[in-house]
Amino acid sequence: MQPKLIIHGGAGSSLKGKGGVEAVRQALSAIVDQVYHKLNAGVNAVDAVVLGCRLLEDHPRFNAGTGSVLQSDGQIRMSASLMDGSRQSFSGVINVSRVQNPINMAQFLQQFPDRVLSDYGAAELARELQIPCFNPLTDLRLNEWLQERQENFQKSMAGVVAEAELSTPNARRGTIGVVALDQEGKLAVGTSTGGKGFERVGRVSDSAMPAGNYANTYAAVSCTGIGEDIIDECLAPRIVIRVTDGTSLLAAMERSFTEAMANKRDFGAIALDSQGNIGWGKTSEVLLAAYHNGEKYGDTLELPDGMQVGVI
Ligand code: GLY
């Protein structure tokens, strides 16, 4: 079957001008091309998702891995999860520090009975696996935090992407995610984040919960935006279960995002179903998503403001 791929680099308020859009498009399209090439060569959905997440984590522009935002105490704690739709198996790490690729730890945990580890347990696993110590801090994120400290943390969260200048006062949120359908028709999804930025120590992100990252044999969804809103809507399983029960992906997305708008939620999601339909939805101003449908690249960087849902 023709493989399909959709990735995201966050959701939030508008990127600053065209320069921001073009830079994000360049980053996302290079990653889509690289991962889609692998899928086309026969790589399975799980490995393609992990590769895509790793590339997004390594890109300093996005809030995951390198370039993660700092929490209120000035530390970086990252969360990531992976769900293999064909086995309906979820794994993840919550608030892990000093590693380059949290998604690799989530993949390793797929084979164990204890599949979600938080801070201390995740640190022990990193030590057991002899994962080299890595500092994901970038100057832009440090400066963002230092500026926020001067203003006594008035802002409720950090920027969705690191821009050449410091963030605007508008709240923006980041996370990265990848959804893939491989040649055998198997689905997988991965999501990774540095969190909201400036959050209370111990806060748990949706990105390492099924609410933000869920898949089965029918559909797979990765979410981005305000974690608490995603958790309150239980967004990823809400869409996946609707598709499982016979609703089309388009109708499942439309219904879920209409409900979210009524509840004033602020987020976005990307999705695939087992038929190869590619979907996205947002209530936020922008959704930084990009896809490959087997014929061409496309993205959602310049959708109009407000709720938008699309399936191709
Ligand atoms: N969606 C990322 C977070 O709220 O942590």
Q: Look at ligand 1, atom 1, and give the residue with the nearest C-alpha.
A: 227
- Intra-chain end-to-end CA distance of the chain, in Å: 16
Is the full-model pTM beyond 0.85? Answer: yes
- The total of other beta-carbon atoms located within 10 Å of residue 279's CB is 27
Find out whether the beta carbon of 8 lies less than 6 Å from any atom of ligand 1.
no
Q: Look at ligand 1, atom 4, and give the residue with the nearest C-alpha.
A: 227
Query: Given pLDDT bands bounded at 50, 70 and 90, which one contains residue 153?
Result: low
Give 156-189 pLDDT, tens digit per residue.
555 555 543 434 333 346 799 999 999 999 999 9
Say which residue the tokens 């696993």 belong to. 125
Mean pLDDT across the chain, nearest whole number?
A: 92
Instruction: Establish whether 217 is a catalytic residue.
Output: no
Find out whether the beta carbon of 205 lies less than 6 Å from any atom of ligand 1.
yes
Question: Quick check: 311 and 279 in contact, CB under 8 A?
Answer: yes
Give 192-245 pLDDT, tens digit per residue.
999 998 889 999 999 999 999 999 999 999 999 999 999 999 999 999 999 999
Q: Which atom of ligand 1 is nearest to the CA of 199?
A: 5
Instruction: Take residue 48 and report the two structure tokens written for it.
Output: 């393609």
Largest CA distance in the chain: 54
Residue 8 has pLDDT above 90, yes or no: yes
Q: Do the bridges between strand 116-117 and strand 89-96 make them parallel or antiparallel, or are there none, so unpaired? A: parallel
pLDDT at site 88: 98
Q: Which atom of ligand 1 is nearest to the CA of 225?
A: 1
Among residues 66, 175, 191, 300, the one annotated as catalytic is 175
Identify the CATH number of the domain in which residue 34 sits. 3.60.20.30
* Count of structural domains, the chain: 1
Give 64-91 pLDDT, tens digit per residue.
999 999 998 999 999 999 999 999 999 9
Please name the residues in contact with 6: beta carbons below 8 A apart, sequence gap of 6 or more: 178, 179, 270, 271, 272, 278, 279, 280, 289, 290, 291
Q: Which atom of ligand 1 is nearest to the CA of 226?
A: 4
Question: Quick check: 245 and 301 in contact, CB under 8 A?
Answer: no
Phi-psi region of 10 (alpha: psi -120 to 50; beta: other; left: phi over 0): left
Q: Name the E strands within 156-292.
A: 176-181, 187-193, 213-215, 219-225, 267-273, 278-282, 286-292
Give 95-117 pLDDT, tens digit per residue.
999 999 999 999 999 999 999 99
Q: How far apart are CA 262 and CA 269, in angstroms?
A: 17
Question: Quick check: 215 and 256 in contact, CB under 8 A?
Answer: no
Instruction: Take residue 159 and report the two structure tokens written for it.
Output: 């920027």
Query: Given pLDDT bands bounded at 50, 70 and 90, which one contains residue 13?
Result: confident
Instruction: Take residue 238 and report the two structure tokens written for it.
Output: 């809400």
Q: Which domain holds residue 37?
A: 4-311
Question: Quick check: 279 and 253 in contact, CB under 8 A?
Answer: yes
